[in-house]
Structure 1
């Protein structure tokens, strides 16, 4: 009997050891390499849709307290810092409530002057090149109900191009004051220009320390507000064309 008990205890100990090692490995990967992130709203349409699941690289901008689970107050600033590039899609902690994650595009770097004039983004007094490339429609499962919204292809001064929506040509955020981005901060905007809470509004300038990481790839995408766990909905709701798509 004692031999059977010892074998059971040994098997349990080995199983527990494997589980602990797996949890530690997952913690290391999530803290230092990649963090999964799901899109909660339609503010980044048409680039990102509700139901998209992304890998966010934690090492892209280095590490701050917000890079780690529970945001331990171990140090201030960043270590092994890497500067964000204009056009990056970045996950960050909301300056007014650091418990909340946001995802937007970096359009303004420290020292930049940013302004919207008649729906056109201006950086340092120069209009960003944009051209209409089509239209976009979506039901509410994408985050917002949109019908034939004009899609504009923007090209930033560094050559990064991406699509934006202009649902309402006379929205409150189509004409803004000029924003001067402070040192150590960034100006963030959603690609869905008329339905995005971003640096033009209450989000304000985002401190470098608040950046969590850079969006790299869509690894899963499902529509109709379905959960990835609802496997029976995969045949009809899985967006196969978006799987493993590199974000831009």
Structure 2
């Protein structure tokens, strides 16, 4: 074999090794540290919008089988577990279909009694502080031609965030009382009248189903555009949302 052929073979092998190492590093980072996630619906408006891309911290709550690619059934429960806190925006696997990821806000902890009365969230029979702070104009398919009232809620632990109230008499504005079982959490979307959450079919979410805590937006584009459509970036990028907290 000539020196030239040996050099080409050696260079190809080095490139393959670098590629394999990069892929392994990416898998480790995605599995143990941060996983990218895109917002598929308007259930968390106006905190999170369709077209937002964010990082989810995998280590915030420890690790379960859902932290691993393809969710292999290697162990049950969580290891190095840390409990979600009231007010956290978190990604979890839908209890009825663990192949599906949901993102909602934690409002009920194990042992809590949760109820919504006339649009007001009650935790253990105490009304959560709620005040109207303005209005919001949804974009794209969520724009029904009128602005939506915005309310600021402040949970008992001091976490504060905004919610939308499209319809003051929606099915989710008056619910039965829910008693959150041990090891489970009650999740709600910030867009209260357009969110399938623990008030409905989602039900209580086991700790094992949590994937991670939403941290920061790293990219955002208008909902009707693809990030690959670079020619649309000048008009459709939401630069003001870059590096914004995904929590409130």
Matching of residues 180-219 of structure 1 within 5 Å = 180-219=179-218
Q: Which whole-Å deviations, capped at 9, do the CAs of 1:20-62 have from their partners, x for residues lacking one?
A: 0000000000000000000000000010000000000000000
Secondary structure of the residue that 1:55 maps to in structure 2?
strand
Matching of residues 77-88 of structure 1 within 5 Å = 77-88=77-88
Tell me by how many angstroms 1:247 deviates: 2.0
Matching of residues 73-112 of structure 1 within 5 Å = 73-112=73-112
Counterpart in 1 of 2:230?
Answer: 231
Unpaired stretches in structure 2, ≥5 consecutive residues: none
Q: CA separation in 2, counterparts of 1:184 and 1:140?
A: 38
Secondary structure of the residue that 1:197 maps to in structure 2?
coil
Secondary structure of the residue that 1:40 maps to in structure 2?
coil
Secondary structure of the residue that 2:137 maps to in structure 1?
strand
Secondary structure of the residue that 1:241 maps to in structure 2?
helix
Counterpart in 2 of 1:139?
Answer: 139
Secondary structure of the residue that 1:246 maps to in structure 2?
coil
Tell me by how many angstroms 1:2 deviates: 2.3
Q: CA separation in 2, counterparts of 1:194 and 1:245?
A: 24
Q: CA separation in 2, counterparts of 1:225 and 1:107?
A: 31
Counterpart in 1 of 2:28?
Answer: 28
TM-score, with structure 2 as normaliser: 0.98
Verify: 1:44 aligned to 2:52, yes or no: no
Secondary structure of the residue that 2:90 maps to in structure 1?
strand
Tell me by how many angstroms 1:4 deviates: 1.6
Q: CA separation in 1, counterparts of 2:182 and 2:139?
A: 40
Q: CA separation in 2, counterparts of 1:113 and 1:227?
A: 41
Q: Which whole-Å deviations, capped at 9, do the CAs of 1:102-156 have from their partners, x for residues lacking one?
A: 0000000000000000000000000000100000112325xx2242110000000
Counterpart in 1 of 2:165?
Answer: 166
Unpaired stretches in structure 1, ≥5 consecutive residues: none
Q: CA separation in 2, counterparts of 1:182 and 1:8?
A: 63
Counterpart in 2 of 1:10?
Answer: 10
Tell me by how many angstroms 1:228 deviates: 1.1
Q: CA separation in 2, counterparts of 1:224 and 1:26?
A: 27
Q: CA separation in 1, counterparts of 2:22 and 2:88?
A: 32
Secondary structure of the residue that 2:147 maps to in structure 1?
strand
Q: CA separation in 1, counterparts of 2:202 and 2:62?
A: 22
